[in-house]
Structure 1
Amino acid sequence: MSRSLTVTYLVGPRSGSLGLAAFALGSALILYRMAKIRATVPEPWDPETTDPPLLRSHSEIKTYKDNGSGITFSGIRVFYRRHPKADELPKDPAPLPLLVFIHGLGGSVAQFHPLLTSLSNSASCLAIDLPGCGRSKYEQTSWDAYSTENLTSLTETIIKDYVEDGQGVVLIAHSMGTAIAADIGNMKSTHRLHPPLNVMGIIAICPLSGPTPEPAVRAFRRLLWIPEFIFNLWRAWDRRGGPESASVKRFVGPQGDLESRQLQNRFNSQSRTPVFRRMAWGLLPVYIDGKPTGGLFGRTSWADLEVPVFLVGGENDTVTPPQEVGKIEEMLKVAAASLESFEDKRHATITNQASISDASAIGDAAAPVNPSTAPRDHMPQSIEEISQEDFERSKALLTSGEDPMEDPTTPRDHLDPGSLSDIPPQPIHPKKVVKTAFLPAGHALLYMPATVRILAGLVSDFMNDHITTRFSLGWQLQYLSREGKWDVKNLAKWKSVQPVSEPIGGIFRALKTLREVDEEHCPKVFAAKWGNEIKDIIDISHADPVYDPKSFGDSIKYHKFPTVSKIPPTDAEVAGFINLVDKVREDQKQRSSSEPNWSEDYVVGVHCHYGFNRTGYFVVCYLIERCGYGVQKAIETFAEARPNGIRHSHFLDRLFVRYSDFKEERG
């Protein structure tokens, strides 16, 4: 993560004997005070022992000779998880693009772990600990090796080692890593290796717009000239207090919960001073006649991009302020407008010189890119503040490191004809588009529990909308499903599922679908056991039920509300479900006063096939919109009553995106 914009407070410009004396005195005082508090400062966490299982299981330590500089880097940690069903997905005109994750100054692959937990089930993923960062070894000590240009070249060299024949890449980067991503994605860059990678999109999280201004460069260079042991003291002083330190709070922001602060404290402790100093030095340009050369790539890297770009800023980010997003957006829009003007003039010239039919054909082929930044209806431009309770509770779902992909069980015969069964297009070069979003967080938004689910959902939406719909995990699961719901394997799975959940919010019980031929979970037995409590059943499965609703008798009413499996319900479906439940509950109130044998705890039963993902999604939505639950509280309430709750990560991501503007617990 980039710290280049925040280190000036450590030491100001100094010159002459007075400045040196003051500096020496300050250093001596710090040495004394640090000796007293050394025992209270925790030892840095070992990156290897703290590596999450998902990362540890799919990582290698490798040696690379950079194709650009010729410098050899040994001990580079590379995480690569190939899509588990890559060989079964369509490869025409190319395989599903590779997602490449690039961290910033002082960062590591581990910071992307929560995001990888969501995205690694829908695409092959590659992430690199840059030299000396995270689990990569600090063995190459040359300062020149850590210039932004050489780190960019090394990153591209490693990507080429993993990209498959014809495969494009989508770059997902944070802070300083966004400058590397922009340069790799820029077809006009002089730094690119040949043949260049086919970059199909860039997601820039907390991006940097350009080179550091000349006055700041002078101050930073003075700071970086300080002897290393003194620099270490300054950093230790800044980190005093651990999770409560100024260093941690600067990155996490004012709303950082304890888990986020502990993570940030770990990442700060793992950042090696020699590596930090070399990378920070490499970011700084040399100014000649007021013009920057070298260092952090700037305006041209962004302005010349011709790919879909998604810019995500933190509203409370003081490291790379949210204004950086606006600057980059303006660069991209101005460049797009210039291209559009050029194409309009070119088209007009062709029209005047050629036949109408020929001109139309050429004009269509040379149509300008669309620079629109209007968001989708469900993708907010600016995401409002999340409730403090949601912020504090959003934990367990992001730390297991397990692969949340559930075994597909929906047969392809059941896909909607002409839509889901069709293979979506995958353009080789997607059209340029610029989108922005702002999250209520600081620089650490990509691994904070309260924001990472929202971020994952927004990133998935952007890739599905503007690169290829083949990224959709729902579509993939449906495309890959070949087994029938009731073959031997899935029948055994269905039998192992708890038939009826505990009460949920005093309103629902979640069920697995009933079977007419089952001896234990058929309508007649169910009505006898549950008929005085579960008075209505809402069947949200897509297919016709494999039981006769009439077998419930008069004690239970049956309602059909069909939805498609594997795909989160649409906004219209959620509204329809909530409206249906409202009517059912009102009807239950009237019936309870006139019909005998009603329990005071009467509820509504809801089922899909197993009663986890779609059922959980609808129930959680109702708890939020009608009962005042926060997002995480509603998800946990469902999971407590129906272990292990909603299983598909893309369902959870969608819930956090959908309700990201709910500010506080209500009711």
Structure 2
Amino acid sequence: MRKKYSEFHSFTIPIHKHTYPSIRIFYRPHANADSLPTTPSPLPLLVFIHGLGGSLSQFHPLLKSLANPAPCLGIDLPGCGLSSFEPKSWDAYTVGALVELLALVIENYRDSQAGQGIVLVGHSMGCSLAALLASSSSPYPSRIADHTLGLVGICPRSSPLSEKETAVIRRLLWIPSPLFDLWRRWDRRGGTESPSVSRFVGKEADLETKKLQEKFNEQSRTAVWRRMVKGLMDKKGGDERSMGGLPGRQVWSGLEVPVLLVAGEADNITRPEEVEKIAEFLGKSGADHKTSDGGVSGTTPDAPTQAHTPKIEKPGPNNSKTVTKDRGLVTQCTRQSNQAPKPRASISIPKPRKLLKRTILPAPASHALMYTSSSCHILSGLISDFLAAHVDPRLSLGWQLQYLATDGKWAVKNLIKWQAVVPVSGVIGGIFRAMKTLREADKRHNPKRFAEEWGPTGNGEARIGDVVDISHDSPVYDPHGLESGGVRYHKFPTVSKIPPMPSEVSDFVAVIDRLLAERTSRTSQSSDSENPMMLKGHEQHLVIGVHCHYGFNRTGFFICSYLIERRNYGVQQAIDEFAWERPPGIRHGHFIDELFVRYCVGLRRVPTL
């Protein structure tokens, strides 16, 4: 993806007059930009800014996820990644020059005529550059601050370099480059186990992350590092409004947009305490959230809520409320109907309010948390939730998928897609089989044939005694066909495209607990004289079938949630188990991200500043 959407351009910044002849730009427009509302403004542009010695490649896991709901722009700073090391003037790598270059690139790609806003996503030093671009009290005023709708800081630094840090850097800069290169080679002894790798990712990181960090270290040019680090400590005055150096209290306190700060507990480069300092600058002290010890049992309290749906100006299908009663089970579904509105010209978007959310991921989360397999999904989910809830509700991929689903769920093209899907999965966690929905008119996957093939009267093991239909619509089959074959039918309506809400998961878990308890009761009370479908031998091997339309996303989310909450599965373990028995597994990346956020992170609601 990065290669396909990358291009190289020359930029000349007007104030410093430096020309950068070959800057690598990654720009991926939204795949459905023409079909989504553009009034009062297009979808915000996400801008990714890497840190000292880094490159755009470090954002790859995030780009794979966040490029789906939003247009994305990234840059390899001069001499970093694939950008050429030109010019070589030290003045071209000061903080001021880099901020000016970023502002120029953003204005070249932002749809200024349509009033497109931006969200800045920075890592390490990139957070400082983002703050300088977005703050109303920045020493580098530009149009970018007026159009910034939000800021995400990953492993941020709160203040300028200290006198001690400055003294160390000055001594390093006195070392000639050839000697400095020798020291770097010595520091890399041991490859993935070298100090140069563990300094960033920690000794407990997985091998793939260590390999990535080793690659990033090798790509970092000494000459570029020396120039940039000198630019970080250069100042032309004694206050924070002076030109040069990293931002501190004055700049951070000038942010008037929603801010999300994420740090790693085991980060040795920018300590997690930096997040609390920035929070203090913004007017909040104390942690909004710190993750637990990484355990995944039970339901996470105050899990992130779904973003509210933007208000459509013209009349369209309203939210529906469905109440289904089934053997004592009452389920309410008050979320938006599957019959999503067709694209319209105007949409009401609430203005983002100034607020702060911050999260510290537990060890081994480190400075490399955005490309570490154990934390990148969590980070992606946190950012996605933040963008949809506090920046622009249209940045919810679920909302977009609903909005674009203008065809009937069972149009002919979807029928062909449905026919190609394997009807029933293998046994998942010893409890479930995932299914696609039944069709009354289908020759094979209809209720009567299904009950004969998969119902409790068969001779095979792990047959299906209950079917839980989680689709929102009325079923496109007659459930009586299941019931007459001994398969009990239960309706639990939910909405497609959007990860189930925590309350829905809790209700689903309760339903499955009840069904298992009822089965145990039936087994203990059964006798040889009873209906053959109730015999112990059959009940002992019965599992529960769960289906939405195709049996991948919502079905996978609910099943994985149950395995995590009731069977002590780890998040990745549950996802892998589902994918193994129902390949290719959960298809929507934002569903996977939400599972990691829901069960690896405990969030508290953050008050508005």
- The aligned residue for residue 134 of structure 2 is 185
Q: Distance in 2 between matches of 1:69 and 1:141?
A: 14
User: Is 1:68 aligned with 2:15?
Assistant: yes
Structure 1 counterpart of 2:606:
none
From 430, 434, 437, the counterpart of 2:356: 434
Are 2:549 and 1:549 equivalent residues in the alignment? Answer: no
How far the C-alpha of 1:599 sits from its partner, in A, is 6.6
- Listed as ranges, the matches of 1:365-384 within 5 Å are 381-384=289-292
Match of 1:104 among 51, 54, 64: 51
Q: Which runs of 5+ in 2 are unaligned?
A: 297-315, 322-333, 457-462, 527-533, 603-609
Letter in 2 for 1:635: I
Q: 2:88 aligns with which of 129, 133, 141?
A: 141
Q: How much does 1:182 deviate?
A: 0.3
Partner of 1:406: none
Give the drift of 1:458.
1.0
Paired residue for 1:120, among 45, 67, 89?
67
> C-alpha separation between the residues in 2 aligned to 1:193 and 1:569?
41
Could you give the per-residue CA deviations for residues 182-201 of structure 1, whole angstroms, max 9, x where no partner exists?
Answer: 01001232313357550111
Unpaired runs of at least 5, structure 1: 1-53, 334-370, 376-380, 389-411, 663-667
Partner residue, 1:324: 274
Equivalences for residues 625-664 of structure 1 within 5 A: 625-660=565-600
Whole-Å Cα distance in 2 between the matches of residues 106 and 467 of structure 1? 30
Cα distance in structure 2, aligned partners of 1:419 and 1:589: 34
One-letter code aligned to 2:592: L
Which of residues 305, 311, 321 in structure 1 aligns to 2:255?
305
Q: Is the 8 A contact 1:182 1:305 kept in 2?
A: yes
C-alpha contact 2:279 2:285 (8 A) present in aligned 1: no
SS at match of 1:515: coil
Q: Does 1:385 pair with 2:293?
A: yes
TM-score (norm: length of structure 2): 0.85
**Other-structure match for 2:117:** 168
Residues 123 and 75 of structure 1, relative CA distance in 2, 3 Å threshold: same
Distance 1:323 1:277, change over 3 A: same
Q: Which structure is higher in helix share? A: 1
Check the 8 A contact 1:283/1:295 in 2, yes or no: yes
- RMSD value over aligned CA atoms? 2.2
AA of the residue aligned to 1:435: K
Structure 1 pair 152/386, CA: closer, same or farther in 2 (3 Å)? same
Q: Which amino acid aligns with 2:477?
A: Y
Cα distance, 1:466 vs. partner? Answer: 1.5
How many residues are aligned here? 543
The CA deviation string for residues 446-496 of structure 1, in whole angstroms up to 9 with x for no partner, is 111111111111111211221121111111110111111221110000000
1:558 matched to 2:489? The reply is yes
Task: Pick from 564, 577, 591 the counterpart of residue 522 of structure 2.
Answer: 591
CA distance in 2, matches of 1:530, 1:96: 47
- The Cα offsets for residues 165-217 of structure 1, whole Å up to 9 and x where unpaired, read as 30000000000011110010012323133575501111111111121112321
Instruction: Tell me the distance in 2 between the aligned counterparts of 1:299 and 1:138.
Output: 32
Query: 1: distance between equivalents of 2:295 and 2:373?
Result: 13
Name the stretch that deviates more: 284-293 or 182-191. 284-293
User: Does the aligned pair in 2 maintain the 1:512–1:608 contact within 8 Å?
Assistant: yes
Contact 1:373/1:434 (8 A) holds in 2: no
Post-superposition Cα deviations, 1:499-524, rounded to whole Å, max 9, x if no partner, equal: 00011011100000000010010001
Structure-1 separation of matches of 2:169 and 2:116: 40
Once residues 236 and 294 of structure 2 are traced to their aligned partners in structure 1, the CA distance between those partners, rounded to angstroms, is 43
CA–CA distance in structure 1, aligned partners of residues 44 and 450 of structure 2:
48
AA at the equivalent of 1:432: K
Match of 2:303 in 1: none
Q: CA deviation at 1:240?
A: 1.1
Tell me which amino acid in the other structure corresponds to 2:294: I
What is the CA–CA distance in structure 1 between the aligned matches of 2:481 and 2:318, rounded to whole Å? 25
Shift, 1:269, TM fit: 0.8
Separation of aligned partners in 2, 1:648 and 1:204:
25
Matched, 1:531 2:455: yes
Q: What do residues 131-173 of structure 1 show as CA deviations (whole Å, max 9, x unaligned)?
A: 1111111121111100011001101100111101300000000
User: Which deviates further from its counterpart, 596-605 or 118-127?
Assistant: 596-605
Q: Distance in 1 between matches of 2:468 and 2:347?
A: 32
Secondary structure of the structure 1 residue equivalent to 2:180: helix
Query: Which shows bigger deviation, 79-88 or 632-641?
Result: 79-88
Assess, with a 3 A threshold, how the Cα gap between structure 1 residues 129 and 197 changes in structure 2: closer, same or farther: farther
1:158-307 matches, within 5 Å, as 158-164=105-111, 165=113, 166-194=115-143, 197-286=146-235, 294-307=244-257
- Deviation of 1:631 after TM superposition, in Å, equals 0.4
Aligned residue in 2 for 1:570 = 501
Report if the CA contact (8 A) 1:131-1:137 is conserved.
yes
Question: Following the alignment from structure 1 to structure 2, what is the Cα–Cα distance between the partners of residues 195 and 384?
Answer: 37
What is the aligned counterpart of 2:33 among 72, 78, 86?
Answer: 86
Query: Pick from 542, 555, 564: which aligns with 1:615?
Result: 555
| Paired letter, 1:535 | G
Letter of the 1:104 partner, please give it. G
- In the other structure, the counterpart of 1:365 is none
CA distance in 2 between partners of 1:60 and 1:293 (Å)? 31
* Residues 196/605 of structure 1: CA separation in 2 closer, same or farther (3 Å cut): closer
Question: Contact 1:385 / 1:661 at 8 angstroms: preserved in 2?
Answer: no
What is the CA–CA distance in structure 1 between the aligned matches of 2:317 and 2:422, rounded to whole Å? 27
Query: 1:218 offset after TM fit, Å?
Result: 2.3
After the TM superposition, which of the residue ranges 209-218 and 199-208 deviates more from structure 2?
209-218
Secondary structure at the counterpart of residue 645 of structure 1 = coil
Verify the 8 A CA contact 2:124 2:156 in the aligned structure 1: yes
Overall identity of the aligned pairs, in %: 51
Question: Is residue 438–residue 446 contact of structure 2 (8 Å, CA) maintained in 1?
Answer: yes
Q: Structure 2: how far apart are the matches of 1:414 and 1:448?
A: 42
Change (3 A) 1:169 1:289: closer
Q: CA contact under 8 A between 2:557 and 2:586: conserved in structure 1?
A: yes
Q: Does 1:472 align with 2:396?
A: yes
Deviation track 1:498-551 (CA, whole Å, cap 9, x = no partner) reads 000011011100000000010010001001111121010000000000000101
C-alpha distance in structure 1 between counterparts of 2:287 and 2:168, whole Å: 40
Given that 1:178 and 1:205 are in contact with CA atoms closer than 8 Å, whether structure 2 keeps it comes out as: yes
